[in-house]
Amino acid sequence: MSISVTTITKNYGKQIALDSISFTIRKGEITGFLGPNGAGKSTLMKILTTYLKPTSGEALVNNFSTQTQSLDVQKSIGYLAESNPLYPEMYVREYLKFQAELNSASLSRINEVITLTGLTPEMTKKIKHLSKGYKQRVGLAAALINDPEVLILDEPTTGLDPNQLKEIRALIKNIGKTKTVLLSTHIMQEVEAICDRVIIINKGKIVADKKMENLRDENEQIIEVEFDYRIEEIALMQFNKATAVKNTRGFVYEITFSSSIDMRPAIFDFAHDNGLKILQLVKKNRSLEQLFQQLTSN
């Protein structure tokens, strides 16, 4: 197991930041740790990277205990902190050489991480002259310098413009093919774009832990239908398994069903029987955004 967290609680004085959370992450998964600000994401990352000790519970990284084998844990981990601390006066290559020496990594690894993170065109520049996206690449390259099994990224795309965001996400996804990646974020789209699995945390507790493919496969479906005429919402509630109906605009209705059977044929029959025409009919997936809002709204 790459990461194993068992009933971890962390209190800051009276503030409970993590409340008895448990999960495991297998090798080679990209897991998103998603939660609103203050949910406890950074606290967990700091525990996994051995910067903080939990109040109770145990965390293992690469089967080493974060509390009693912290050096082994640190060797197994690459960590990109949210602030991405760099030395702005250093040249890219010089900085990575410095990181390699600090981590007792081989010097040949410097070129490998430069290639891996797409830094080749910028490697002779001073860090302070790089764009935010390239600074983030340098942070990632440094995190990868000791070829760690596990990569921990705290809000890795904060402050990037849309193009940089796309590039860094693609880079993380690529790196995730060979590493276990745990990344924290408060951005749902980030998880949808990069991750295989999402763990949603709210107020220090895990409120969902799902593979992305299962998220799209819930036993719930939302169908958006546009008729050529207004109809009472209550009439649409007559459908078997309908749990909610909303008139979203004009003659467009969103009907939620608690059923895994495709309900579109039933809507066609309904329209036919009632002399209505269907102008558009779309089966929507319950989005991660809706799930996130529902789970973190209190």
Q: Point out which residues bind ligand ADP (CB under 6 A).
A: 12, 15, 17, 35, 37-43
Q: At what angle do helices 92-102 and 108-116 cross, to 10 degrees?
A: 120
Q: Given the complex with ligand ADP, which of 39 and 194 has the nearer CB atom?
A: 39
In angstroms, give the least distance from the CB of 269 to ligand ADP: 48
| Residue keyed to tokens 């796309």 | 166
Q: Given the complex with ligand ADP, which of 77 and 119 has the nearer CB atom?
A: 77
192 within 8 A of 288, measured Cβ to Cβ:
yes
Burial per residue of 200-239, b for 16 or more beta-carbon CB atoms within 10 angstroms, e otherwise? bbbbbebbbebebeebeeeeebbbebbbeeebeeeebeeb
In angstroms, give the least distance from the CB of 35 to ligand ADP: 5
Q: Given the complex with ligand ADP, which of 15 and 174 has the nearer CB atom?
A: 15
Q: Given the complex with ligand ADP, which of 17 and 165 has the nearer CB atom?
A: 17
In angstroms, give the least distance from the CB of 33 to ligand ADP: 9
In angstroms, give the least distance from the CB of 42 to ligand ADP: 3
Residues with Cβ within 8 Å of residue 126, at least 6 apart in sequence: 88, 89, 90, 91, 92
Q: Given the complex with ligand ADP, which of 43 and 49 has the nearer CB atom?
A: 43
**Token output for 197:** 């699995």
243 within 8 A of 258, measured Cβ to Cβ:
yes
Q: Given the complex with ligand ADP, which of 6 and 158 has the nearer CB atom?
A: 158
User: From residue 175, how far is each of 44, 153, 211 by CA, in Å?
Assistant: 22, 12, 19
73 within 8 A of 50, measured Cβ to Cβ:
yes
197 within 8 A of 212, measured Cβ to Cβ:
yes
